[in-house]
Amino acid sequence: MVLRYPHPEAGATAAPVAHAAAGHSALRRWLRRRRDPAMATGLALTVAVAVVAAGGAVLGVLAYAVRSSDALRGFDEAASRWGRDHASGVTDRAIEGVTQLGETWLVVIAGLVLVVVEWRRGRRSAAPFLLLVVAGDKLVTTLVKELADRARPTLNPLAESLGPSFPSGHTSTAAAFFGAAALVLGRGASRRGRALLAATAVGVAVAVACSRVLLAVHWVSDVVAGLALGWAWFALCAVAFGGRLLRFGSTVARAEREAVEPVRGAGR
End-to-end CA distance of the chain: 28
What CATH architecture applies to the domain 72-248?
Up-down Bundle (1.20)
The 10s digit of each residue's pLDDT in 18-58 is 455 555 666 566 555 544 444 555 566 677 777 778 888 88
Which of 65, 39, 10 shows the shortest CA–CA distance to 228?
65
Least confident range of 4-8, 117-121, 230-234: 4-8
213 burial via Cβ count (<10 Å: 0-12, 13-18, 19+):
buried
Which of 212, 168, 203 shows the shortest CA–CA distance to 182?
203
- How are the residues of the chain apportioned to helix, strand and coil, as percentages rounded to the nearest 5? 75, 0, 25
Mapped onto helix, strand or coil, the DSSP state of residue 150 is coil
> Can you give the length of the chain in residues?
268
Helices (H) and strands (E) in the chain, counts: 12, 0
Query: Is pLDDT above 50 for 241?
Result: yes
The 10s digit of each residue's pLDDT in 131-147 is 989 999 999 999 988 88
The span from the CA of 132 to the CA of 10, in Å, is 35
Calculate what percentage of the chain has a pLDDT beyond 90: 18
Q: What is the pLDDT at residue 45?
A: 66
- Residue 230 confidence class, pLDDT cut points 50, 70, 90: very high
The 10s digit of each residue's pLDDT in 73-109 is 777 777 777 777 766 677 778 888 888 898 889 999 9
Greater model confidence, 200 or 124: 200
Q: What is the pLDDT at residue 193?
A: 85
Report in angstroms the alpha-carbon separations of 36 from 5, 22, 188, 249, 263: 9, 19, 19, 24, 10
Please state the separation of Cα 131 from the chain's center in Å. 15
**Residues 148, 67 contacting (CB under 8 angstroms):** yes
Report in angstroms the alpha-carbon separations of 207 from 53, 55, 179, 218: 24, 19, 14, 14
**Residues 199, 145 contacting (CB under 8 angstroms):** no
Report in angstroms the alpha-carbon separations of 159 from 7, 98, 168, 217: 49, 17, 12, 5
Q: What is the pLDDT at residue 54?
A: 81
Backbone angles phi, psi at 96, to 5 degrees: -65, -35
- Output the pTM of the full model: 0.71
Return mean pLDDT, the chain.
75
